[in-house]
Structure 1
Amino acid sequence: MFRNREIRQFAVLFFIIAVSAVSMGFAVSMTAGMLAVVYTVVFGVFFFVFTKARYKKIAQIADQIDLVLHNENRLYIDETDEGELSILQSEIRKMTLRIREQNEALRGEKTYLADSLADIAHQLRTPLTAVSLILSLLEDNPDENERKKLVREIKTLFIQMNWLLDFLLKISRLDADIVTLKNESIRVRALMDSALQPFLIAMEIHGIVLKMDVPETANVNGDFGWLSEAVQNILKNCIESAGDQGHIEITCIDNPLFLELTIHDSGCGFDNDDLPNLFDRFYRGKKANASGYGIGLALSKLVITKHGGMITAKNHFQGGAVFVIRFTK
């Protein structure tokens, strides 16, 4: 306590005042002098005990702050009576709790970043290994037709890697909040037509029948380009699941409370074990023949969530998969 310069100065000043008061008391009378001594001692002891208690509380707060700064999860600060010290304790408690929350968030982000980098490396390693193998075959192959075939395979693999990197870049930009999403009125029918456009030829070749019931008046606010891509990823999943001679049904509910899009395919649906993880990044399902990289649905969910909507997936009671997208108005 006496390490504090202010306390030392106060002690010296108190000693001078006490000596002066006692001297004047004895100058008046013996009784006045004794009373001055008693009052001086009582006041000095009371002030010493009170100040020591306050400094003890401050020392406890300092110890707790030091624990938090050294990543200690425990945080305990005693409650005190109303006063400036109590207000200080309350503010320090808020600060330390916020620091701990930020530390936990940073640890979570570091873990997520490490896992994401490991997943990306794993996803890229497979096509890169295939390219390396094909290049070794290409180098020693004298057959011109075979060489052309190997070159086409390399081009296909590079297209796949470029697609993968493009998706990963989009996800990372959305995660980092560096994408400015437009907020414009979008006709849902035009949005669905745009999302279906890349698949029309494939659907015709495979005999997939499309039934769409979307009112012309249905509108949603958002970024047309990003929402179109989000719906495209869902439609791609449904088209692949529906297979030859399958069908896809798209319906829309539009009311003053929300707008809801439902996409139903005639495929085999999802395994129950896969349902909780469908929108997780790099999740490809537990089936041995699962294809793709497992990021299309993850991107769709991220885009829809950024627009204030939500997406769910389930199995239809009549068979097939059902995706439900809802935007609250």
Structure 2
Amino acid sequence: MRIFRMTRTLQRLDEMLTKAINGTFTEESYDETELSRLESKWKQYFTMSSMSMERTKAERENIQSMISDISHQMKTPLANIMLYSELLQEQTEGEQEKYLAEQIETYAKKLEFLTMALVKMSRLESDVFKICPSVQRVGSLLRQATEEILPRARQKEIQIEICGDIEGKANFDQKWTQEALYNILDNAVKYSPKGSRIEVEGISYEMYFCIAVKDQGIGIREEERAQIFSRFYRSDLVQQEEGIGIGLYLAREIVQREGGYIKVESKEGNGSIFKIFLQKE
């Protein structure tokens, strides 16, 4: 009899867990006092969990609305500031006045970049943006990200070469992975000397497709390698360069949400190799 009751209790517990997983759990009446008490506690737990999920969803929707409002409200003032700064540059004749007008435009562009970067980061963290990976060829990703960074590379006379396997396939979201790769390329251009070379290599492995970005830049100190993917982290070696320290953070977040990861190999003064590993399936 005891074995029968234990078997029945275990079966009921199994049913309760199965229904909880499926979201169909409801409290029922049973004669077994301990089981009924456990069932009641389960009901309380799932009710509280459901309320917590609803609050989280409401907060996420509020964040989404707030971010959209901030983004919308910032666009018009920034656009007007840049327009007026361009008009000032055209209408002023003195060197000092032109310089000041150029500074206004420069800082307005920095503010626009900062605003857009923070909006992207907030939307990504609050799951407002959905990353939808699919199996596709990597070649298009490499070419488009490289073409996007070329204007900045040409300003520093930096050559960018695509090599290796560019016909391979991986599971990724084209738009967001291009954003991740661009951020890594942007860092490579930013911290590489004039006239240097950047190599973007495709490497196919059994389970992953690797995109390796090799530069001849300033490199990364060993003690900083674990920090470079943190939000707003900037080395004291690059404080004079433009940037706010979220490019690599965004790149890692995007790739991780696709089931991949990023590794870095570097020595101070000897360049860096950033490797993006994308799942093949």
Q: TM-score with structure 1 length normalisation?
A: 0.56
- 1:26-37 mapped onto 2 (5 Å cutoff): none
- 1:1-329 mapped onto 2 (5 Å cutoff): 82-89=34-41, 144-287=94-237, 288-289=239-240, 291-315=242-266, 319-329=270-280
CA distance in 2 between counterparts of 1:223 and 1:261 reads 15
CA distance in 1 between counterparts of 2:152 and 2:42 reads 64
How far apart are residue 303 of structure 1 and its match? 1.8
Structure 2 regions of 5+ residues with no counterpart?
1-32, 64-77
Structure 1 regions of 5+ residues with no counterpart?
1-80, 114-127
Q: Label 1:317 to 1:244 Cα distance change in 2 as closer, same or farther (>3 A).
A: closer
Q: Label 1:164 to 1:282 Cα distance change in 2 as closer, same or farther (>3 A).
A: same
How far apart are residue 84 of structure 1 and its match? 2.5
Q: Which moved more, 1:264-273 or 1:176-185?
A: 176-185
Q: Label 1:245 to 1:215 Cα distance change in 2 as closer, same or farther (>3 A).
A: same
CA distance in 1 between counterparts of 2:226 and 2:43 reads 41
Over the matched positions of the two proteins, sequence identity in percent amounts to 26
CA distance in 2 between counterparts of 1:209 and 1:144 reads 37
CA distance in 2 between counterparts of 1:276 and 1:321 reads 14
Does the residue aligned with 2:223 lie in a helix, a strand or coil? coil
Q: TM-score with structure 2 length normalisation?
A: 0.65
- Which of structure 1's runs of 4+ aligned residues deviate more than 6 A? none
How far apart are residue 311 of structure 1 and its match? 1.4
Does the residue aligned with 1:226 lie in a helix, a strand or coil? helix
Does structure 2 conserve the Cα–Cα contact (< 8 Å) formed by 1:230 and 1:299?
yes
How far apart are residue 271 of structure 1 and its match? 1.8
Does structure 2 conserve the Cα–Cα contact (< 8 Å) formed by 1:209 and 1:247?
yes
CA distance in 2 between counterparts of 1:192 and 1:163 reads 23
Q: What amino acid does structure 2 have at the position aligned with 1:307?
A: E
CA deviations 1:169-225 (Å, max 9, x no partner) are 111111221223344443212211111113334434534343432323212233322
In the other structure, the counterpart of 2:4 is none
Q: CA RMSD in A?
A: 3.7
How far apart are residue 146 of structure 1 and its match? 1.9
How far apart are residue 96 of structure 1 and its match? 10
How far apart are residue 238 of structure 1 and its match? 0.9
Does structure 2 conserve the Cα–Cα contact (< 8 Å) formed by 1:279 and 1:297?
yes
Structure scoring higher RCO (CA < 8 A, sep ≥ 6) equals 2
CA distance in 1 between counterparts of 2:39 and 2:130 reads 41
CA distance in 2 between counterparts of 1:161 and 1:318 reads 31
Q: Label 1:207 to 1:145 Cα distance change in 2 as closer, same or farther (>3 A).
A: closer
Q: Label 1:205 to 1:174 Cα distance change in 2 as closer, same or farther (>3 A).
A: closer
Does structure 1 conserve the Cα–Cα contact (< 8 Å) formed by 2:142 and 2:162?
no
CA distance in 1 between counterparts of 2:136 and 2:38 reads 54
| Count, aligned residues | 222
Does structure 2 conserve the Cα–Cα contact (< 8 Å) formed by 1:314 and 1:323?
yes
Structure with higher helix content: 1
